[in-house]
Structure 1
């Protein structure tokens, strides 16, 4: 790909930086709706006290859009400006403002994140970060992994139960063990609060969406030592096109016990039940990206699956605890533990292809009228135990301060999987007069067995501060991983043991005027869990490494945070397949880019967030197939830009608007050439009104209902999400 001329790049970067610097802010009006307390027996509303810049902890609620602290980049309560790696925090208020109903929507204005690598997809929150899959090996919930093994039994999260979503970009294995080189997503749950929370929320939207949710928290005793919270969602909806359910039941109770000011113990649980169809917008490239040979396109609203056959049913349960005890001013211990159980029953018709009904006549309309669809299904049962133990020592000697973290984490996952797939077995589908139902043949499984993964990691980190200006973070970690795969198909058992040491270092200078330049190096690893068929020895873990340089600007006493980062990221030792389909550990991908992000308050009640990602290089640099070298493994546009702004008038009216631009690509592996996947621009909007205890809002995403191709891969293309409209009414007391 030809790089942009230097002046064009400079102008684009300066324009973006100036535009974001001129306009970003965090909000206080939303805090006014939640900061009220009413004394018992009072007949009038009490006075409201608001501090929009208050942040109780690095995991708790933020009033507005700007989080200044996070644990995602260090596992300790650390200011973001002192974290030597790119990190973004999407607060609950920001999720509400942009109308985000899932993780993908929430990350739509985050630099370096693609929220539509597979277009519209009701099944999962597929994302990619800096050109690498961000959904495998899984998101994190409260710092503990929601581990999956790349199959279809993937954990789901609920935005209404989340206080914030954090994205740490780049390799993160020193903190989190096995991880994608692109970064990790951590979701912080709503936890009990001493301040009462009483909220009921109603939603109504297109696709027959009807949802009721509630959030309640407060103290159970007069001394405030026992706190509770219960959050729940009940949704009755349909998938686009109708005839398929999209229902959810979610409840998350938790209780916190504080026997003293030094000890906190929180017990938390979660249950989620999803009953839905399977909605994707996959199409053959000819008929979606480009016209067929006779100049036709597949109808945009066609359901290429079968609502009578497709379903995606999921049940997941979690229970765990978080314990923190402070011995003295020096030593603090923390322990987190969670047990989870996940059941998935999924089946669908997919991978549609035209069937030539008149092969003797290449231009016959009948050759581009009927689709054949493959039959796919998977039943999976996953159980997992995850634990993280930490000892923190805060030491000081003269101008030197050390925050030393010693940790040991452990995870064990068991997956029982029965999966089948066939390219045939379903009736042909007439794209102009679709008829669903009929006999569908279920093939024999190609996977029927149990896989187990156990990983133990020991890590050490030291955050060193010299005076008030210099901050150095160094860390190292040693992991061991054991995987066992048992197949019921042939009775075989495969056992593999792997180990890996990873390291990380970063330096930050904290200038008095709020500037904070930094440099960092970080690594990642991921067990492969397979044997080399040529040597019968285990493949080495694949690895990642990143060099990053950046600068943040946080004006003292303000409500703004600006950041810029350049990075050089490599994924190494991944498996590629030669011409005989033999696996070889020769793969390497190189990604380089620039990212800009800003969150600020231009003037009172005017908020704006913006991001820009320039990625001139995201290519395969080594492979056992020469034709892959120099091409993109996952599609990454050279330019991606997003801006969101909202304003709250003094009379309670509020309006917001956003734009999301995604540049053109050649799709995954660039196999749809010569046609490019065109760029697209989407508009979002919000209008609302705050009155007394009510908050009303109407959110529209993809305002113009633009039809666009989100991505293409291997002869297929994925259409993006159509317009969604959701009206929300929230009552707090």
Structure 2
């Protein structure tokens, strides 16, 4: 385990050591806190102040339970149409429930697992209330229907926590927001999220999840699904996400190893799957769009048995589309996708639930992602590959489960697990310009890649009271093992005349072995966290984690095998102060740990990269749920970065990158009809040490330092019932072409729009990205020009049943 100095902060090393000591000391105490659990019942009899607004009774009960930090089990359907006048004043827990339920015909009964809602006439005197068919917890992550404003998240803390109490920057994108904006890929929707940049190499017909967070590439370590890591391959095998299968997307920015192990400096993107529920929508959707897009999708779920103990959901999709890119002869590049995600929820008992999940994705796309640059350094319309040869096929098969059991005393035992097998078969062409400056010399390549990935996360969480404080404790162990295989064959391919390119020629299957590599990584981590409530205002989050990682690099082509073992402790500490009225300032320090596989020219094994961040911020979320605003200032440094000598291309571990910035995000229901999302990022990222002297003190290539977005959505039902219109702007600032920052691509602004109409079971929408079809280059670097996305119009018809 190594240490380093955060050069932008001379006090960083003492601060980091103090944080580690505080984390270890606090968590050592937390490990024995369950012995004090008997104080829970006394705490529930204590009087506390509440301010619950008037509204739907189910919402009021949930808000009260959240503020009282207790659980409630209820059949939400039985409360449909019932309203609550709200609650304001000082009450015990039972007094608060009694006041909210007065006149509703319902009451609550206390059980060892929490509170249970029952019709008054059905509660036997002195008896325990039998549990209803549907278990709805006050800790549920569901948000108000149709809302863009999320109030809670499980990504940042692995516990369902109000975002106001999370001392770190988090963005949540709901399925409703994705649908309203007409996004068809993960990068489409994340492009409007502060601190996030997508597709640094421009439009990509293959639709990979290429995301950078706070200036750091998250391709290898920032991809999570339902809280479990999704590992990528050695070269081109990445993660592809079908957004139609997601309930929401959560972006946690900044170092996050306490919760997510070997995550990188910028943070993680957690994709939350659609899962069975009693009120899951049922729909069939048809889509037509630009470039001959044709898609059919379905989302169907509901009860299997009369008691509702067995619920199912099946999400499926079939896509056949062209893309904006063509070969000089006019043949359009294409992509096909099939997706199927069945899941089953079994409510084994009122205290125990099991969700079984599966996901299958087949993707087949053209694989000529760039146009050739001419001898004059300018872009051309020539593709280096061939439509009959250049192809990439990727498959994903994943199976997993989510288990939860509520123990006596309110403690919860949870376990998530997923096994995934991803594979890739890629035929592509590598080219270079001959000395005559018109002949393109080409080499055919065939890459085959696969990843076997097993991830398991087991945790125990619960709440106790100690004096004037309440503690939400979390203890966990997670395990991840991935094995990536990659081999490459090469072969000759016919040259191409840049002035008169001819496609459709025979390209022989490559037969010459060029690479054969297996990478195996095993990670075991143990973590602990304590979320402490001091009275009504102060919230302290403190956590620590120990990781052990073993990496095996088996280069079978060169007959070289190396093994590397790394270990590290990571900490996080943050404080929120709930000012009242929905305001919460916070300050935090967090760390990350990333193993680096390989060695330098002298044979020295690379040590893990580490990152540390200090962040201060302000959040605003009033109780009525109409507004979410967040501002964050951060100072983040990553060290032990592997950089490459520009002359010899030798790898050296002398890199250091510092990222500072400001992020602003707002989501709001401005009026009953008008919704808004807005974001702004100002990023100051610099290379502080590297193998190339020209890049020191400069901004990394293809990294915009400014970005902003605005979206307004108006329900125009005053003109026509069921009609909604939306529109917005996206601004991406200048980015540099080279490491020395001598030339740059200018910034650009794109306009988007959507129109939706709902009548009975039907929903119709038309969305347009880059409405005015602005032509631009997303970047220029490494000898290539990266074209931006052209106008894309999509018509969708949904039928609900």
**TM-score, with structure 2 as normaliser:** 0.79
Contact 1:62–1:92 (8 Å) recurs in 2: no
Report the equivalent of 1:390: 459
Q: Residue 657 of structure 1 aligns with which residue?
A: 727
Q: In structure 2, what is the Cα distance between the partners aligned to 1:436 and 1:391?
A: 60
Are 2:532 and 1:461 aligned?
Answer: no
1:305 deviates by 3.1
Equivalent residue for 2:659, pick from 591, 594, 602: 591
SS, match of residue 244 in structure 2: helix
Match of 1:298 in 2: 380
1:237 alignment counterpart: 321
Q: CA deviation at 1:623?
A: 1.5
Are 2:634 and 1:545 aligned? no
The equivalent position to 1:122 in structure 2, one of 205, 221, 231, is: 205
Tell me the distance in 2 between the aligned counterparts of 1:420 and 1:677. 36
Match of 2:555 in 1: 487
Choose which of 46, 52, 72 in structure 1 pairs with 2:155.
Answer: 72
- Residues 233 and 485 of structure 2 are in contact (CA less than 8 Å); yes or no, is this contact kept in structure 1? no
Deviation at 1:419, TM superposition (A): 2.7
Is the 8 Å Cα contact of residues 119 and 280 (structure 1) preserved in structure 2? no
Superposed counterparts of 1:315-714, under 5 Å: 315-350=395-430, 354-357=433-436, 367=437, 371-373=440-442, 375-420=444-489, 425-430=493-498, 435-439=503-507, 442=510, 444-534=512-602, 536-578=603-645, 579-615=647-683, 617-650=684-717, 651-667=721-737, 669-670=739-740, 673=742, 675-714=743-782
Q: CA deviation at 1:119?
A: 0.3
The 1:609/1:49 distance shift into structure 2, 3 A limit, reads farther
Q: In structure 2, what is the equivalent of residue 91 of structure 1?
A: 174
Q: Where in structure 2 are the equivalents of 1:15-34 lying within 5 Å?
A: none
Are positions 1:161 and 2:250 aligned together? no
Which residue of 2 is the match for residue 209 of structure 1?
293
Greater C-alpha Rg: 2
Task: Give yes or no for contact 1:632–1:668 (8 Å, CA) kept in 2.
Answer: no
| Partner-residue secondary structure (3-state), 1:93 | helix
Compute the displacement of 1:371 (Å): 4.4
The alpha-carbon deviation at position 354 of structure 1 amounts to 4.8
Structure 1 residues 646 and 273: CA distance shift in structure 2, 3 A: same
Larger relative contact order (CA 8 Å, sep ≥ 6): 1
Q: Residue by residue, what CA displacement relative to the aligned partner does 1:607-634 show, whole Å, maximum 9, x if unpaired?
A: 110000011x211001233222112234
1:180 aligned onto 2:248? no
What is the CA-CA distance between 1:71 and the residue it aligns to? 0.6
**Residues 533 and 638 of structure 1: is their aligned pair in 2 closer, same or farther, counting only changes over 3 Å?**
closer
Cα distance in structure 1, aligned partners of 2:446 and 2:745: 29
The CA deviation at 1:137 is 2.1
> Compared with structure 1, are the counterparts of its residues 462 and 103 closer, same or farther at alpha carbon in structure 2 (3 Å cutoff)?
same
CA gap 1:61/1:187 in 2 versus in 1, 3 angstroms: farther
Q: 1:405-456, CA deviations, whole angstroms, 9 ceiling, x for partnerless residues?
A: 111000001111113568x844214366553434367374442032111101
Q: Please show how residues 95-114 of structure 1 align to structure 2 within 5 Å.
A: 95-114=178-197
Cα distance change on mapping 1:373 and 1:593 into 2, 3 Å: farther
Contact 1:118 1:711 in 2 (8 A): yes
What SS does the aligned partner of 2:380 have? coil
Q: TM-score, normalised by structure 1?
A: 0.86
The superposition leaves residues 152-181 of structure 1 with CA deviations (integer Å, 9 ceiling, x where unpaired) of 122322100000011101111110011121
Q: 1:57 to 1:692 in 2, by over 3 A?
A: farther
Deviation at 1:376, TM superposition (A): 4.0
How far is the alpha carbon of 1:207 from its aligned partner?
Answer: 1.8
Q: How many residues align?
A: 661
Contact 1:171–1:522 under 8 Å retained in 2: yes
- Please list the CA deviations of residues 169-227 of structure 1 after superposition, one character each: whole Å capped at 9, or x if unmatched: 11111100111211100000000001253110000112221111111111111111111
Q: Secondary structure at the match of 2:232?
A: coil
Q: What is the aligned partner in structure 2 of residue 266 from structure 1?
A: 355
Question: Aligned partners of 1:346 and 1:50: how far apart in 2?
Answer: 58
Gaps of 5+ in 1: 1-27, 29-46, 358-366
Q: Secondary structure at the match of 1:546?
A: strand
Partners in 1 of 2:736 and 2:200 — Cα distance?
A: 13
Distance 2:526 2:549 in 1: 12
- Alignment partner, residue 62 of structure 2: none
Q: CA deviation at 1:701?
A: 0.7
Distance 1:405 1:440, change over 3 A: same
- Give per-residue Cα distances to partners, 1:542-577, cap 9 Å, x unaligned: 111111100011123241001111110111101123
Cα distance in structure 2, aligned partners of 1:634 and 1:85: 27
The alignment partner of 2:775 has SS state of: coil
Compute the displacement of 1:297 (Å): 5.2
Contact 2:234–2:485 (CA under 8 A) maintained in structure 1: no
Once residues 724 and 475 of structure 2 are traced to their aligned partners in structure 1, the CA distance between those partners, rounded to angstroms, is 47
How far did 1:483 drift? Answer: 1.0
The CA deviation at 1:531 is 2.9
**RMSD over aligned Cα atoms:** 2.4
CA contact (8 A) 1:58 1:71 kept: no
CA contact (8 A) 2:432 2:440 kept: yes
Is the aligned partner of 1:730 residue 2:798? yes
Residue 364 (structure 1) aligns with: none
Deviates more, 1:315-324 or 1:217-226: 217-226
Answer whether contact 1:507 1:520 (CA < 8 A) is retained: yes
Q: CA deviation at 1:491?
A: 2.6
SS in 2 for 1:305: coil
Further displaced range: 193-202 or 545-554: 193-202
